[in-house]
Amino acid sequence: MAVAALSPVWRRLRRNWLSIGALALIALMALAAALAHWVAPYEPDDTDAAAALAVPNIHHWLGTDIYGRDLLSRIIHAGQVDLTVALGATALALVIGCSVGVVAGLYRGIVDLVIMRCVDSVMAFPAFILAMAITAALGNSVTNVLIAIAITQIPNYLRLIRSEIFRIREMEYADAARVVGNPAWRLMFIHLLPNALPPIIVQGTLAMGYALLTMAALSFIGLGIQPPQSEWGSMTAEGAQYIVTGEWWLFLFPGLAIVLMVLSFNLIGDSLRDFLDPRMRGVR
Amino acid sequence: MAFLAYFLRRLSLVIPTLVGVTFITFTLTYVLPGNPAVVKAGPLVSPEVVKELEKQMGLDQPAWVQYGRYIGGILHGDLGESSSTGRPVLEDFKQRLPATLELTLASLLIAMALGVPLGVQSAVHRDTAIDHIGRIVGVAGVAMPTFWTGLLALYVFFYLLGVAPAPLGRLGPGIEPPHAITRLYVVDSLLTGNWRALGSALHQLMLPSLTLGLSVMAPIARMVRSTMLEILESDYIKAAWAAGIPRRRVIYGDALANAMIPVITILGIVFGFLMAGNAVVESVFAWPGIGNYAIVALMTKDSGPIQSFVLFVALLYVTVNFVIDLLYGLIDPRIRLE
Amino acid sequence: MTDLPVIEVRDVSVRFATDRGDVHAVDGASFAVRPGEILGLVGESGSGKSVTATAILGLLRRPGRLTSGSIVLGGRELTTLGQQELQKIRGVEVALISQTPRTALNPLITVGQQVARLFTIHSGLGKAEARRRAIEMLTLVGIPEPERRARQYAHQFSGGMCQRVMIAMALAASPRLLIADEPTTGLDVSTAARILDLLRELCGKTGASILLITHDLGVVAQTCHRVAVMHAGQVVEVAPVRALFAHPAHPYTRALVHSIPRTDRTVAMEPIPGSVPSLLNVAPGCRYAGRCPWVEARCWAGKPGMTEIAPDHHVACFAVENGRAAAA
Amino acid sequence: MGGKTDRRVFLKLSTSAAALGAFGALPAQAQTGSTLTVAWDSDIDSLDPHVFKSVGGYAVECNIYDSVIGWKVQPVDGKPGFSIAHPSEFEGGVVEAWSFENDGKTVVLKVRPNMKFASGHPVDGAALKYSLDRALLSPGYMRFVMPRILQISKAEDIVLRDPMTVVINMKGATPQPMVLNLLALMNVTVMDPELVKPNATEKDPWAADWAKRNVAGSGPYTLTTNTPGVEVVLDARKDHWTGTAAFQKVVFKFVPNEADRVLLLKRKAIDMVVGRPGLSPRSIKQFENDKNFNVFTAPDTVCNWLAMNQTKKPLDNVKVRQAINYAIPVAAIVPNVLLGYGAQMKSPLPALMPGFDGGLSPYKYDLDKAKALMKESGVATPVTLDLAVRIGWQPHEEAAVWIQRELEKIGFKINITRQTDATFRQLASKGDMQLSIETWQSWVNDPFFHLVPLFHSTSKGTNTAFYSNPALDKLLDENYHEPDANKRLAAAKQAQKMLLDDAVWGLLWNDNWTRVVRKGVTGIAKRWDTFDHFAAMKNG
């Protein structure tokens, strides 16, 4: 059913070459990261004193760092961490947000009230600041960054699902179906899924970009992901030290990797929204 | 009277949120690794000194007692102490807040000054080159991490072109701060006619505020564009066109005025972005504000400043959104009068 | 009725570009409004009435565009004017009363200011003078306590009151032509009647002509001097009101007239068969062909021209040209 | 490579040109004769000299307080304007003369006459007695160190003999240089009791809260402003016993980023960089041939070593530790990472420390030997270990990569982890590290003062190897206060032998002490506690 709902999406996307490009870029990066061991021209930790701080050249397309490590290889390997955490955080937030949202929507009353007050409190923090505080509290690790980002994202899905449930409850056919004897949960899923799925897909796509940015910013300021898991944000931070001596490639390319990935996710998310959001349909 | 009711209704929603906020910040501190007593005492003291301090700081009490103390402290303006400056956090905050405010306001100004016209033009010239450029700028602006844009700006404008000053705080070397009135250097130097300080303050402010401003320009432009599109299709704008109201007046008067109401509501969100961006941008440009303070504290596991920063930002964020809600009520006659 | 018309619309076509091709919203429409006259422009929704009005005001926006025709207002060709000049004409020589009075007023500006600013813009009056004139206008359109009401906002006005304000605004610069686009939609019957009376009365006083756009033949019968009937973007019949109701010539007009519930007739309403044809990538012929009981082969191939079948009574129909009207 | 060098020179030129462009219009503060502008990266966490927390406060205290006794500095040949302290050479400070009585059990301190605190109050014996009491008893680092070295525990052990004389009655004789080195630390300085006492409370008898943020010194400068995160300003006193400092004003600019410190120096917006380390070797190197700057560098007592936590397998195996020592490419690290600003470490004692013996260590880079030892150890390879370094400690980060590569050749898989200083310390003292690169400097230049915290089994938090050897403990305990200098040095040598045999540390290097100073500024001096005394500096 979900697949069927998405097939027009696919048709729409295919017409939008920009989104295709974005999708291809993400696929390329994901594939390269997954197969980093085979794809990357060098091992990420291979040092070469003779080629230290080399400008981008034919052997090292994106140059090398102070140890002569190949920047391109390190960026590709870093993609593993970046994309995994972004995907993991988004998935975790989606699952928890939707489940709790269903609970809030179904039980209403006091349960809903408590849940929504918690949501309000979480949303009272700018997301990045909260992610920062949570990471600081839990300690630096990939898992903790993932959890921190997920927590800041949960309210989005929760509210989305909850309002969708409230909307369905209001609808007459839901009443009719109840009279016919469909159990409440079945009813929910029959009606909820097709209605709530599109906005959740849009939200999830955009959240991938957000998660990448947050994670990069966290490790840029020294929180979050620590080497040996090289990560684009911390690589940018390392590279920043070499601006003064003119080794621009060290900060530029890891940052560019972030920009390209986030841009791709946002472009896809935007196209999906244009298509899936009925208010925007046919605008262009 | 109607407005008072509106005010009270809004306020009643804010208070539970605030309680929730303090609860979250307390919980985060409670699980924050590192013994605050050890941090306070320094690494080179004997265990009994640490024990003494723990008792003094109430760390041996149960969690709920500590929470009570925490709330009491907040209400008395006691946010704890920074181990790296040895001063009460509140005092450090007071010293650094003007820097952050100056940067935030400048960025907001830049974001509005660029974002609003861009959004208006994109809407008015929908689906033309301007709109497409605006869209690209918007999407790209959101996708670029502020630390990276900041570094890029530094590299290009400071290291390569030399038109920007070294990223070393609010004033160039050798420039005395203007007489303190608001403690926003740009404002104070204007008020006191201190042109040398004004020039230096603006020069120093240039790159960080542009970096931060551009990062939040996109959502503003986007919001302005979409509300403008909606409003340009509205009956009263059509009526205004038909009534022969001059074009500029219709777009920048009638339409924009109405579009600004929803835009004001997203200023709250924009403010959140700015506070988050502040922390990162301040650290890139060595800007002596509270964001930089918090990041240094994170590095040194200085729990007082971290939790206070998080709490402070949340309180500020809630307050700003509350004020925006009120503002919304004041501006829109439909709410003000009903 | 031999004066030069206030406005003459000749062979106007408007198309809207879409993903799937051009929508031919108005196709060769021609009609004229004479001085002091109320011309009704009737047709089902989507028949291109409002688009025609928009074209007259020079407010067509992408993806819509005027593909042919001329619009002459007071002897001046409008289709070749730039936006700058058009802006000086709008509100001054031709004004619009929209079909949604409640939403056609800016919610953030007081009603008084909205009227007053027209005086400052169009007549160059000072603030105080403009305000005085605005209150005068509000009084004229029958708004009670105009001083107080002028300080209020649109949301504090009822629909009928809003429409009165709209009329005040439209008449502020004493235009020659008033385009009233479904001015009584959404108003209750008695309010609607009062608004129409007001319109008629004020135009009588000021000498303005009215192009009254409506789908309601009843309104036409009560208010207008002449009627132009539009179907699917084409003007199919133009006639004086009496002639039209007495001797509707075009098959579509006949169907329309017969569908009016009338107290003096006991025959049941005849619904118009078929539906408005799609205006997307249309065939060259008569657009009523698909619904027409008198359809002939040539109706599909070419568009019938306007023929004067009685004094001042014009019809575009091959069948009528051939004398079918008489038979009917 | 030639091409690369050219490019870097070009970029360097272009950046300094850019710098000139940006600041051409502004007068460079550093040029004004009577102000010295320095950059550093610390905030002052505490101004209380007796409570030592971090170097931020200490660097300032060195100029607003006077030490009880001073380290005498001697000019360095061929480096005009630069002096260094030599072991066991002292000069007067607050105390004009000192002597030992009662078989070395009693220290007699004669306070310098006519000395005044910045407040105008006189410095006398009572003030010194009060300050020594406070150092001994207030909650801080000295409360930990003084009893250990001086064998005293209570205020009664410090006696005011006459208004200008204070004696310290120690439980037993103590090696005199160690006592004097302790008294030369700024941590044992004199505070103005008239300022401190009124701020004491029942809960806080030594006014620790007050002293944290207030100054009660007798030093050549006074603290004018302290704006954390921005700057600290010191002003010279007119009535200091050494005369008025040539630099009337000293401004500490807070510049957290090393790259920015380098740039500020290059454009001469600052006169020098202070703090530890302040500048990394790579940055220092850029100034080596710059005619606008002097690079003053001298060997120092900072030890950098590969810490091997013996509570983690297989680091408990002595053969493994020896193998690691044979695999460390120190000979490559010193030129490539330190760029010459340091020397290979040959013993757990720094080369400048009394008792050091550079001939004891058998270790040199020898992979065959290392592999053989690994085989002997019976440990199954590959062994995966984490190697932790502090973020931003450039030489450590770079050395870690060198070490990683060599250790992987003898059967290890090394993951380098970077930690913030705070986390690093926490993990190290909890024993959660496996391998890490550690650093230590003993400001009291004495082998036993040095060895006890690093290797004694009772030293928690600083013995990061978690080394425990009863024989060594006994040796250290018995000789800590040994008055016979020769016997003591022999014991120190024995201790070094034991530590080297057990391969407790992976020996790396001793850093040089280095300052990059604007040409024309003289009076730079290296003392055992590393921090600059600005009163002795001047232009020309």
> What one-character-per-residue DSSP string does C62-74 give?
TTEEEEEEEEEET
Mean pLDDT of D489-508: 95
Mean pLDDT of D139-144: 84
Contacting D residues, span 178-237, partner chain A, CB-CB under 8 Å: none
State the pLDDT at residue C328: 41
Mean pLDDT of A90-115: 88
Residues of chain D contacting B281 with CB distance shorter than 8 Å: none
Here the tokens at position C206 are 């000021």
Residue C268 reports pLDDT greater than 50? no
Highest mean pLDDT among B327-331, C198-202, D23-27, D50-54: C198-202
Contacting B residues, span 32-71, partner chain A, CB-CB under 8 Å: 32-33
Residues of chain A contacting D412 with CB distance shorter than 8 Å: none
The chains found to touch C (3+ Cβ pairs under 8 angstroms) are: B
Residue B62, min C-alpha distance to chain A (Å): 19
Is C153 close to B254, i.e. CB distance below 8 A?
A: no
State the average pLDDT for chain B.
Answer: 85
Q: Does B306 touch chain A (CB under 8 A)?
A: yes
Residue A270, min C-alpha distance to chain B (Å): 9
Residue A164 within any structural domain of the chain: yes
Q: Does A113 touch chain B (CB under 8 A)?
A: no
Here the tokens at position B58 are 């109430």
Residue A134 within any structural domain of the chain: yes
Q: Are B259 and B220 in contact (CB under 8 A)?
A: no
Residue A25 within any structural domain of the chain: no
Is B139 close to A270, i.e. CB distance below 8 A?
A: yes
Q: Which residue of A has its CA nearest to B152?
A: A252
Backbone angles phi, psi at D305, to 5 degrees: -145, 165
Which among B24, B147, B316 is the top mutation candidate for probing chain A, defined by the most A β-carbons within 10 Å of its own β-carbon?
B147
Tell me which residue of D169, D145, D139 sits closest to D155, measured CA to CA.
Answer: D169
Return the number of CB contacts < 8 Å for B and C.
Answer: 80
Is D141 close to B42, i.e. CB distance below 8 A?
A: yes
Residue A197 within any structural domain of the chain: yes
Tell me which residue of A217, A222, A210, A206 sits closest to A254, measured CA to CA.
Answer: A217
Residue A276 within any structural domain of the chain: yes
Tell me which residue of D217, D223, D224, D216 sits closest to D240, measured CA to CA.
Answer: D217
The model scores a pTM over 0.90: no
Q: Does A141 touch chain D (CB under 8 A)?
A: no
Residues of chain C contacting B338 with CB distance shorter than 8 Å: 155
Q: Can you tell me the distance from the alpha carbon of D519 to that of D289, in angstroms, rounded to the nearest whole number?
A: 12
Q: Does B88 touch chain D (CB under 8 A)?
A: no
Nearest-CB residue to B239 (from C96, C107, C108): C96
Q: What share of chain A is helix, strand, coil (3-state, %, to 5)?
A: 75, 0, 25
Which amino acid belongs to residue D184?
Answer: A
Contacting A residues, span 227-266, partner chain B, CB-CB under 8 Å: 233, 236-237, 239-240, 243-244, 246, 248, 251-252, 255, 258-259, 262-263, 266
Is B243 close to C109, i.e. CB distance below 8 A?
A: no
Is A217 close to B280, i.e. CB distance below 8 A?
A: yes
Nearest-CB residue to B333 (from C90, C92, C153): C153
State the pLDDT at residue D5: 34
Which amino acid belongs to residue B136?
Answer: I
Here the tokens at position B157 are 């404008």
Q: Can you tell me the distance from the alpha carbon of B237 to that of B231, in angstroms, rounded to the nearest whole number?
A: 7
Q: Can you tell me the distance from the alpha carbon of D305 to that of D396, in angstroms, rounded to the nearest whole number?
A: 10
Q: Is C touching D (3+ C-beta pairs, cut-off 8 A)?
A: no
Is B245 close to C117, i.e. CB distance below 8 A?
A: yes
Antiparallel, parallel or unpaired: β D158-162 and D165-169: antiparallel
Q: Does C156 touch chain B (CB under 8 A)?
A: yes
Here the tokens at position D95 are 């105390």
Q: Can you tell me the distance from the alpha carbon of B76 to that of D297, in angstroms, rounded to the nearest whole number?
A: 51
What is the DSSP secondary structure assignment for residue B338, as one 8-state letter? -
Block residue for tokens 């007592």: D301
pLDDT digits (tens, 9 = 90+) for A15-55: 577 788 889 999 999 999 988 888 888 888 777 777 778 88
**Lowest mean pLDDT, pick from A173-187, D39-53, D101-115, D404-418:** A173-187
> What one-character-per-residue DSSP string does B251-294 give?
IIIIIHHHHHHHHHHHHHHHHHHHHHHHHHHHHHTT--SHHHHH
State the pLDDT at residue A284: 31
Mean pLDDT of B98-119: 93
Residue A2 within any structural domain of the chain: no
State the pLDDT at residue D23: 38
Q: Are D527 and D274 in contact (CB under 8 A)?
A: no
State the pLDDT at residue D16: 35
Residue D372 reports pLDDT greater than 90? yes
Block residue for tokens 């925490």: B70
pLDDT digits (tens, 9 = 90+) for A222-243: 887 766 667 899 899 888 888 8
CATH code at position A99: 1.10.3720.10
Q: Does A195 touch chain D (CB under 8 A)?
A: no
CA A77 from centre of chain: 18
pLDDT digits (tens, 9 = 90+) for B231-257: 888 888 888 888 888 888 888 888 888
Residue C322 reports pLDDT greater than 80? no
Which among D286, D401, D426 is the top mutation candidate for probing chain A, defined by the most A β-carbons within 10 Å of its own β-carbon?
D401
Q: Are B25 and B311 in contact (CB under 8 A)?
A: yes
Q: Does A52 touch chain D (CB under 8 A)?
A: no
pLDDT digits (tens, 9 = 90+) for C98-139: 888 888 888 888 899 999 999 988 888 888 999 999 999 899
Is D422 close to B300, i.e. CB distance below 8 A?
A: yes
Here the tokens at position D60 are 């300032």
The interface predicted TM-score (ipTM) is: 0.78
Contacting D residues, span 246-275, partner chain A, CB-CB under 8 Å: 258-260, 262-263
Is B243 close to C59, i.e. CB distance below 8 A?
A: no
State the pLDDT at residue D430: 82
Antiparallel, parallel or unpaired: β D231-236 and C76-77: unpaired
Q: Does A120 touch chain B (CB under 8 A)?
A: yes
Q: Considering its fold, how many domains does chain A have in total? A: 1
Tell me which residue of D292, D234, D271 sits closest to D30, measured CA to CA.
Answer: D271
Q: Which residue of B has its CA nearest to A120?
A: B17
Residue A130, min C-alpha distance to chain D (Å): 20
Is A270 close to B24, i.e. CB distance below 8 A?
A: no
Nearest-CB residue to A47 (from D15, D260, D401): D401
Is B288 close to D254, i.e. CB distance below 8 A?
A: yes
Residues of chain D contacting B85 with CB distance shorter than 8 Å: 43-45, 228-229
State the pLDDT at residue A173: 58
State the pLDDT at residue D10: 33
Is A240 close to B31, i.e. CB distance below 8 A?
A: no
Residue A30 within any structural domain of the chain: no
Backbone angles phi, psi at C269, to 5 degrees: -60, 135
Q: Can you tell me the distance from the alpha carbon of D17 to that of D7, in angstroms, rounded to the nearest whole number?
A: 15
Q: Can you tell me the distance from the alpha carbon of D343 to that of A256, in angstroms, rounded to the nearest whole number?
A: 40
Nearest-CB residue to B243 (from C62, C107, C118): C118
Q: Is B touching D (3+ C-beta pairs, cut-off 8 A)?
A: yes
Residues of chain A contacting D391 with CB distance shorter than 8 Å: 222
Residue A91: give the domain boundaries. 52-57+84-280
Is A67 close to D423, i.e. CB distance below 8 A?
A: no
Residue D417: its H or E element: strand D412-419
pLDDT digits (tens, 9 = 90+) for C55-65: 998 888 877 88
Which amino acid belongs to residue B252?
Answer: Y
State the pLDDT at residue A8: 56
Q: Can you tell me the distance from the alpha carbon of B323 to that of B268, in angstroms, rounded to the nearest whole number?
A: 9
Mean pLDDT of B277-300: 88
Block residue for tokens 């906020």: B21
Residue A145 within any structural domain of the chain: yes
